[in-house]
Structure 1
Amino acid sequence: MVTQLPTRQDKNPEVRIKRVYFWNIIWFTKLNLMIHKEDPIFSHAMRSFWNKLKFSVNFGWKLFWQRKYVLLEDNKRAGALALEERKKSIFVYAVGVLEPYKRKGYGTKMMKFTEDFARKREKKFVCFSVLLKNYPAMALYRKLGYRSLGLGLTLIRYFLSSLAKDFPASNQPRITFKKVHKIRKIKEKALYWWVKEAEALCGKEITELCFSDFQLLVDFRKNWSVYEILTNEKVCGLIAILPSFKTLNILFFSEPSTWDMSWTNAFLHSLIKLDDENIPLIKLDNYSLERNHKRFGFIQIFLTHQHKDKLGVKNQPKKFVHQSHEDRQILYKKID
């Protein structure tokens, strides 16, 4: 009688997480590019050789400064983890598993490793940004107890045709704009209102984390026109106008008390005036939307998820289109 020896497949694989040092940055970058190739940010960057080269170099340079780990199954590279140490938290810059190794619990293993690392470093939180369309990952993070800050910016399109129909009543508040000139001031004010919107969803416990650890993930540029929003002479938010030849793109944060359609209509009418032919002309910095009105008929607005949800965008399809395919949110967990 011949006894059959167990095959390699019958054994439990040896799984371990190993530190990666800076001299291994090239293969570590390639591994992460393979893991995240389905992510819209990565897939868009891979459409041409030069874009791919530029993106890979920039991505590798950012990974260079992170604390890097590789997950090994039987000494084969199966996953990657990059951590950034901040004042109050550990921020997960990149985490993922190669396709053949998914659904084996390796994602949970790496997140537990990250939480243990945060405890050793005496950090209060673990945070990261996640693509909402990544449903398996979102299910895993919820199972592990992560909550949403809601602060990843989302894009909605507001149809200009509804602007005239929703003209605010005469008793609406007076909304005006005050220009902000210096980039440093712009970033300070944007962070302040960004944190205000976080508090509306998560409460005051998140205030310290946002101010100490989070830089607003928006690269404000000198050619952007940035204004404070004032309601009845009281500052209630911030708006940035992003230059574009095709359409008007605006990014704005505001006091949660303004998150309703009545105030939003008044805000848009203060931003845009209608001429006799109902052709909108932007007041600020002489932007013209005549081409946009005829060809596109919408304004693109970047705002936070909690702001978008409060406006009831999903329930108003004749006014809004929600561009959700690249939506992300920042998740966090308080470490005991």
Structure 2
Amino acid sequence: MTTATRDRTRTLAIDATGLTKSYGDKKVLDGIDLRIPEGTVFALLGPNGAGKTTTVQILSTLITADAGRAEIAGHDLTGAADGVRRSIGVTGQFAAVDNLLTARENLILMADLHHLGRREGRRRADDLLARFDLTEVAHTSVVTFSGGMRRKLDLAMTLVGDPRVIFLDEPTTGLDPRSRRIMWEIIRDLVADRGVTILLTTQYLDEADELADRIAVLDHGTLIAEGTADELKRRIPGAHIRLRFADVHRLDAAADLFRATSRNDEALTLNIPCDPGIPTLRAILDALDTASIPAEELTVHTPDLDDVFLTLTGRPQVDHVPDSRKENPR
């Protein structure tokens, strides 16, 4: 069974159709559809102003759509908004922690807001401190925490209510590479161990590549592409196999053998445009072997998500302008 087939048979955690939102004459969302199966990570990519945060705000009941419908964890977005709120958690771009409290006190505060009993709230707080490797700093004021520790605590606070769907709005912005990878592992574990569904917006294309089961590209309020990372990459031209040879004579012989190629005489390399699958690789190696032309090195080059983003949106990277006005609901 293919991944697409498995996804169609899963219950949808998020099922949205025709979401539209305008502010005055500016249309921020132009009728987008989202169908996200339970227990998956879905990444929403797009330039600054594409509508990513607006999408999260609508789906998390912070603002209402002008048109369209959605169900989150089986609850209608407009008819059962309280049910939606009980089922979700939201972690925004900026850590929403209280610097005057300790890590444990922040978690207990969230437990109180969720109306958990005293004993259950403290048990859940201690469990989350252990899960996020924060037990040693449980009684330390958050003001002393590093950015990575604050982000871990922020996500832990989101989990106090045991949400089935989590919206992560650029969760690793500003983190160093090590802290980012720790957050990635936490996100993977949430999905694998607890079956949580995650809608992730990110400015880091490698983050979407690493984490997401499916990726959608949003631009000017419209979904312009959706698929797995590999499916999106295959839509973009530029895949090729590069051969490197020991001397120019072998390079010449290979260039004669493979006509539709480009060469670099200084690097002694030959680029063969193709779909670099196993059959193609085998055919190239067989042709070289038959012609007795040994290659020193063979490398496969495929488009990455940066190429996808540039081609689809016409922009070289996800523009990012921090917006201190973003809300960070739980």
TM-score by length of 2: 0.25
